[in-house]
Structure 1
Amino acid sequence: MRVPLADGTLVATPGMPDVDLIPSLLDASDVLGTGWFAAVAAEVEPGKTVKGPADWFTGDVYIDAVAAAPAPSRMSANLVHFMPGARTHWHRHPLSQTVFVTEGVGLCQRRGGPIEVIRPGDRVLFEADEEHWHGAASDRLMVHLAINEGDADHDVVHWLEPVTDEEYGAVPAGSCIGTAHTAHLVGEL
């Protein structure tokens, strides 16, 4: 059996978990869309809101499963709640990720690109293996629906280093955080 580590790499294990435990581990891993190790590390109980692990997020983040299709599908959708100032670490997805903002004001950045402000109704497509981060503005919460697909090895995400306070604080002047502003489409589906 191979299990994903927190960084998304797969490692072989010498034995199998108890057979009766496997279905609940798989259900739990689908909640976060990141594999067996992630489910165990986050102590996921299916149907419950879980706190996002500190080795994936800075600040307080909460995750609710919206959809975790049964095999052979590898799709998952999670509603992710970022408290003000909370954000993901840098990460990438082998088969891309779409986020759809439902509430609040958020920020996102592709490696080497500018920080962009995202608002309710905005869709952001992060291309396959594109390093990026996303989260809430410093003074606003943000909620988004994250839609992911696992690759053939069921990898959904590869976690990288935390976004530094300097990187997070580089919001462009005139970005209109917290004021009335026309939402924009960051990526197209």
Structure 2
Amino acid sequence: MVNLLPLLRNAAGLRRVVTMLAGTKEGVVHTDDLQMRQSSLLSLAGRGHLVSMTTLALKAVARTAPTVSFVHTFPGAVRTNLGSDVEGLSGAVFRSIFRILFFVVGPFVVTPFDEAGERHVFFATSARFREGGVPLPKDMAVARGTHGSGVYSIDNHAESAPPRVEQLFAKLREDGTAKKVWSDVEEQFVRVTGSMSI
């Protein structure tokens, strides 16, 4: 994404990046374990940490590209082939548990593929996330970003992050965590590629 910023900044039309992970599910950032070597993605704490790191990275990039909107989405439960390639007993157990879960609760919580795709086309093209894009219906308001940052954290119902998330980011900004996270991301870019851009 960092390498595409010059093209995005100079685009004649809509300037937007849509990232799909778990927008609105942000949580506490563990500054002593930014790389998540001691955390698990299977835990809510691990998920919250990773999601916050993602949104914080988007906010850092957005500061250098004020004309670009960044939308971090949570698609909800979409039945995919996630985990289908996990081998052995643990893979079989994982697949069995998810088959049962999708059979029992799937009809109530699963977002169909087509709808998930339509939502993300909307996120990428509508005027809901800054000016430009496809005009909104009269009953739909522009989404709330965090203090005009150009970053929008959106849930599986296309709603903006609740006040809890906005308060969390205010705290992360005030206590220096946001800067620490981006500094770590930059260090990892350099460690892996030898420079800040590829």
- TM-score between the two structures when normalised by the length of structure 1: 0.23
Structure number with bigger Rg: 2
More helix by share: 2
Q: Which has the higher contact order (CA 8 A, sep 6+)?
A: 2
The structure with the largest strand share of the pair is 1
